[in-house]
């Protein structure tokens, strides 16, 4: 009788150790695991879609180069998302200096019912626009909670705040966003 195949998945911590020992494949594996959630986070936080790929790369480069500072206070992905937030902030500063305006986010391709998608796209674009107007901490807490589904304890550890403060930021963000996205 054939035994079911057991696929062992190395935890992030093991891959980080392997990368620190010089294993490039471990770094590639970490990118494979976390690149899409990171791209969602960056796009949700206001990154122009044309730049998401570059910003994802830059975030991983920074993370791998400073991985010695990751103490396991939160999940690797959460830590990565906070680095992504910093990368995006720096990108915004550079763009402001060059006076380059981000491209319109409404240009997206969808599959399925055009009417339904047009409506959803409109609300999504409105939410993205409103998110940009929130203070950075509120925006990041909202995305980490509502988009990435993280617990307040995890968010607090990543952003060096308390779970109570993270909860307050989230509720402020929701209150402001609900007024607009009705």
Partner 1 sequence: MNGDERLEHLAKRLGNAAAARLDVEATARKVVARLREQPARRASWIQPAWLRIAAALVIMVGGAVVASRLTPGHRPGVSPHAAHLVADDLNDLSADELRDVLTSFDELINNDSVAVPEGSTDLRELDAQQLRAVLRSLEG
Binding footprint of partner 1 on the chain (CB under 8 A): 24, 27-29, 31-32, 35-37, 39-44, 47, 49, 52-53, 56-57, 60-61, 64-65, 108-110, 120, 123-124, 127-128, 131, 142-143, 146-147, 149, 174, 177-178, 181-182
> Least Å distance between CB 86 and partner 1?
15
> Least Å distance between CB 2 and partner 1?
31
The answer to whether residues 81 and 35 touch, using CB atoms and an 8 Å cutoff, is no
Cβ proximity to partner 1, 49 vs 95, nearer residue: 49
> Least Å distance between CB 99 and partner 1?
24
Cβ proximity to partner 1, 124 vs 161, nearer residue: 124
Cβ proximity to partner 1, 95 vs 124, nearer residue: 124
């Amino acid at each position: 009788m054939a035994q079911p195949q057991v696929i062992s998945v190395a935890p992030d911590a093991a891959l980080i150790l392997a990368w620190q020992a010089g294993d490039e494949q471990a770094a590639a594996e970490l990118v494979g695991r976390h690149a899409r959630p990171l791209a969602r986070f960056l796009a949700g936080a206001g990154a122009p879609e044309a730049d998401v790929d570059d910003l994802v790369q830059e975030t991983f480069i920074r993370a791998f180069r400073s991985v010695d500072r990751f103490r396991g206070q939160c999940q690797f992905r959460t830590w990565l998302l906070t680095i992504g937030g910093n990368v995006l902030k720096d990108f915004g500063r550079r763009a402001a200096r060059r006076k380059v305006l981000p491209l319109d986010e409404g240009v997206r391709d969808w599959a399925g019912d055009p009417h339904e998608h047009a409506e959803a796209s409109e609300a999504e674009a409105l939410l993205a626009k409103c998110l940009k107007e929130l203070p950075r901490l509120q925006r990041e807490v909202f995305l980490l909670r509502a988009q990435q589904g993280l617990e307040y304890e995890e968010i607090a550890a990543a952003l060096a705040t308390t779970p109570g403060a993270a909860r307050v930021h989230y509720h402020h963000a929701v209150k402001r966003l609900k007024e607009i996205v009705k």
